[in-house]
Chains A and B, each alone.
Chain A
């Protein structure tokens, strides 16, 4: 498979897993509310519902980040770069993606150490008392996949920059094509 296809498939499946976690949060919370409302009938809330919501949400966010990056979903201000030529914009794209990759690698690397800390210190949650490193491990898996996606996106932006450079070489002296770039 070509790079964009691999990155797209990986990010999409990750986002779907995150979506599953969100649906789980929804179902869990609704069930817990119902159980809590029927406390007098001998039912009760799902034990540790709050901390399950927290763990699942964290996983979902980590799983959503690569998709957002791939789809240029992060908020930007494009007022001042509009005036720049196409090639400068593609160069900025590449620079931004390199910086993002640096941060994504940093986050995954530190999260890995965070996970080992939680394991080493035997930290658990309050109510269910499940080991905290489980949640960290799930988040790390998503963050690690995010690193792969991020490298692919850099390759993608590099290719776009080179394509513009080629075009410029072909029609020397002419304006760069007005293609807005956009999502793959």
Chain B
């Protein structure tokens, strides 16, 4: 079997393992290890890589933001902040159909402004919002779909780990990419809210509602949110004022929420242990998937499948926009099986130079920024497209009673909203570029 065939065959094998309920990370890791072994013809290379690869993946500075934000989420719940947040959201929006889900999207967007990671946003906000959504009578499908989609705002709204990686690979200015991602990120949040309102119109039984509250109670509920606002401002303000990096901001957030929870009695010996154990489970799950994906992706690269696929797509003599569409569709399909960071790492080094040579009627840097935003958007869709969507798994694993099929169903309107947004961003490059032009 040629290396290329090995790469192709790994897709059905990987899916087979995953559908047999073998843990995702374990499936990717096994496929990657065996695949590498077959390509190299010997086990020696992969065995020697494993001497350091687990340690260097788990010690990655940019990934250390994940457990810190998870811990922050735990402390935030212990301090009663999540309840306060949702009381306030409910006071203002709860009387609408789908209102609490909409405010969950808003909260995800806010959280996305301090967090660069999709999984961290999904996991943290789910810890806070999932119980509340269920309490207000939302169906398991809509609740998990909302939070899985909301989690992508963690990356769509800057700062964003994916954009940092893209900037490095394409040698672009991260700051400009962050600026460029702002409007598309807000569009994403708005699009999700529209998706919710359409969904609840179609399926009115999937969302509960609470009575409209008078302004006095709304303001009282709002006042309860001050610790959240304070931590949020310290973290966001600190990051944007240049006091610290996003990872350091996560540590500040964890410390701040921890102290608040301690002050209002939410943090005791018993709850601290629970918080740590919950953080441990989610952290281990996420890092294990990242590790499995890293091994699987390096096997795919070794099989030369991505390179051949890229050469095939760009080698057909199509118009630049047809090639771009082909690449974006390729990402959407690949995203059904792979995680976003790995996809970027695997494909941008191949695609960027290829499409960079085509004429889209704009300057090289404009194109690089626009293409970066488009890639960001489509790989993030991959996080919520069945069957393999990391956010879907993270959220679903936090709601053991909800079948994954329900989550698949619940996320569909959000995926559709993502596709509409992608088309809009392709049609109007100015949406991604005007903020950059205005500020630089």
Contact = CB atoms under 8 A, between A and B. Distances in A.
B64 A73 contact: no
Contacts of A78: 21, 403-404
B21 A12 contact: no
Interface string B228-256: 00000000001000011001100110110
Interface stretch (B46-54, B103-111, B183-191): B46-54
A165 interface: no
Nearest to B401: A180
B287 interface: yes
B252 to A, nearest CB: 6
B4 interface: no
A1 interface: no
B20 A68 contact: no
A33 B248 contact: yes
Interface residues of B, number: 62
Interface in A62-110: 62-65, 67-69, 71, 73-82, 89, 92, 95-96, 99-100, 103, 106-107, 110
A82 B404 CA distance: 10
A4 interface: no
Nearest to A29: B251
B394 A57 contact: no
Interface string A103-145: 1001100110110010000000000000000011001000100
Contact of A26 (B254, B390, B397, B405): B254
A61 B284 CA distance: 6
B393 interface: yes
A96 B23 contact: yes
Contact of B393 (A16, A77, A95): A77
Interface string B273-286: 10011011111110
B316 interface: no
B283 A79 contact: no
Contacts of B51: 110-111, 113-114, 117
Interface in A1-60: 12, 15-16, 18-19, 22, 25-30, 32-33, 37, 50, 53-55, 57-58, 60
A19 B280 contact: yes
A30 B25 CA distance: 32
B405 to A, nearest CB: 5
A37 B243 contact: yes
Contacts of B280: 15, 18-19, 63-64, 67-68
A58 B59 contact: yes
Interface string B114-148: 00000000000000000000000000000000000
B73 to A, nearest CB: 13
A107 B49 CA distance: 11
Contacts of B20: 80-81, 92
Contacts of B312: none
B255 A19 contact: no
Interface string B366-393: 0000000000000000000001101001
A80 to B, nearest CB: 5
Nearest to A28: B251
Interface in A136-162: 136, 139, 143
B283 A60 contact: yes
Residues of A in contact with B, size category:
35 or more
B307 to A, nearest CB: 28
B215 interface: no
Contacts of B243: 33, 37
B68 A22 contact: yes
A64 B71 contact: no
Contacts of A32: 248
A53 B287 contact: no
B67 A22 contact: yes
B372 to A, nearest CB: 26
A57 B59 contact: yes
Contacts of B440: none
A55 B277 contact: no
Contacts of B277: 12, 15-16, 19, 67
B289 interface: yes
Interface string B64-95: 10011001000000000000000000000000
A67 B282 CA distance: 10
A76 B71 contact: no
B55 A58 contact: yes
13 contacts: A19-B280, A22-B67, A22-B71, A33-B243, A50-B61, A53-B61, A76-B22, A76-B397, A110-B51, A114-B52, A114-B55, A139-B55, A182-B400
Interface of A: 12, 15-16, 18-19, 22, 25-30, 32-33, 37, 50, 53-55, 57-58, 60-65, 67-69, 71, 73-82, 89, 92, 95-96, 99-100, 103, 106-107, 110-111, 113-114, 117, 135-136, 139, 143, 182
6 closest residue pairs by CB, A with B: A19-B276, A68-B284, A114-B51, A29-B251, A58-B59, A74-B23
Given A75-B23, A103-B29, 12 more contacts: A29-B252, A30-B252, A50-B61, A64-B279, A69-B284, A74-B23, A74-B26, A75-B397, A76-B18, A78-B404, A79-B405, A107-B50
